[in-house]
Amino acid sequence: MENKIPLSVAIITKNEAENLPDCLKSISFAEHIVVVDSGSTDGTVAIASDFGCEVFAEPWQGFGLQKQFAIDRCKKPWILVLDADERIPKETANAIKNLIMVPSTAASGFSFPRKNFFQGRWIRHAGWWPDRVVRLFRKDKGRMTQAKVHESVEVDGLIEPLAYPIEHYTESRLNQILIKIDQYSTFGAEEAFNEGKRASIWSAAFRAKLAFLHSYVLRMGFLDGSQGFTLAVTDAVNKFFKYAKLAELSRKSHKRY
């Protein structure tokens, strides 16, 4: 039996049966794992329950609020926020164990570099590496932002950077990427609209062009081969539909008045 440490891990899921087993195996050293599911139909809940996770069903609220719901149900003094398609490598697990069991810092939270893998390739350019993220924090010192998408952990106090990575196996199936683009662009458009931002179809096209050039050329995504090109295109498509949907919301709002 692996020695457990006083750590809670917060994970949100929906139809993650393919990813969740490897994720859970990588955090088997944690005493408490919270899984908040929003309507899975593929066995995700059974996988989490069989592993010994504390499982909650909660309707979808957006990424920030959904993850905060999971954090609020964590019981241990330290919390690690993880996505189902992420893994904690052995060396990172050892570093987390040492930080919690042999405290040597007054830091309230820790950030990790994130190794993003796409279609079997570690993506090192276009801002995908080191892609540093805050994920580990003292229970009374951190919480999620309320953003529906592109949420992050906010920590009250010192955040210490660690050299050990989190591994992220991002969605590589193009049909699923298109579904995510539709979802994420809708969330982004709604947030922008609620913040008073407006757009036109022409500004959407201009932003998409800039996004591609920025990712593929200026940030050297071309060095990541065909995967880098695909990611630059998907980023541009996501940008276009976010602002095209914002333009649509703007038109509908104008008609009402």
Whether residue 31 sits in one domain with residue 105: yes
Whether residue 71 sits in one domain with residue 198: no
Strands 133-138 and 142-144: unpaired
pLDDT at 131: 97
Sheet of 159-161: strand order equals 54-57, 30-37, 5-13, 78-81, 133-138, 109-112, 159-161
Asked which of 121, 137, 169 is the last residue of a domain, the reply is 169
Asked which of 144, 169, 194 is the last residue of a domain, the reply is 169
Whether residue 230 sits in one domain with residue 138: no
Specify the pTM.
Answer: 0.92
Whether residue 180 sits in one domain with residue 228: yes
Whether residue 163 sits in one domain with residue 68: yes
pLDDT at 254: 73
Q: Count Cα atoms within 13 angstroms, Cβ side, for 16.
A: 26
Burial per residue of 21-55, b for 16 or more beta-carbon CB atoms within 10 angstroms, e otherwise: eebbebbebbebbbbbbbebeeebbebbeebebbb
Whether residue 119 sits in one domain with residue 29: yes
Count: domains in the chain: 2
pLDDT at 253: 82
Residue-wise pLDDT tens for the chain (257 aa)? 568 999 999 999 999 999 999 999 999 999 999 999 999 999 999 999 999 999 999 999 999 999 999 999 999 999 999 999 999 999 999 999 999 998 888 999 999 999 999 999 999 999 999 999 999 999 999 999 999 888 999 999 999 999 999 999 999 999 999 999 999 999 999 999 999 999 999 999 999 999 999 999 999 999 999 999 999 999 999 999 999 999 999 998 877 65
Give the domain extent around 200: 174-256
Contacts by 205-212, CB closer than 8 A, 24 or more apart: 205/240, 207/239, 207/240, 207/243, 208/236, 208/237, 208/239, 208/240, 208/243, 209/236, 211/235, 211/236, 211/238, 211/239, 212/236
Whether residue 212 sits in one domain with residue 121: no
CATH of the domain at 33: 3.90.550.10
Whether residue 30 sits in one domain with residue 154: yes
Asked which of 118, 137, 169 is the last residue of a domain, the reply is 169
Whether residue 34 sits in one domain with residue 133: yes
State the Cα–Cα distance between residues 19 and 12, nearest whole angstrom. 12
Whether residue 192 sits in one domain with residue 99: no
Whether residue 76 sits in one domain with residue 158: yes
Whether residue 199 sits in one domain with residue 141: no
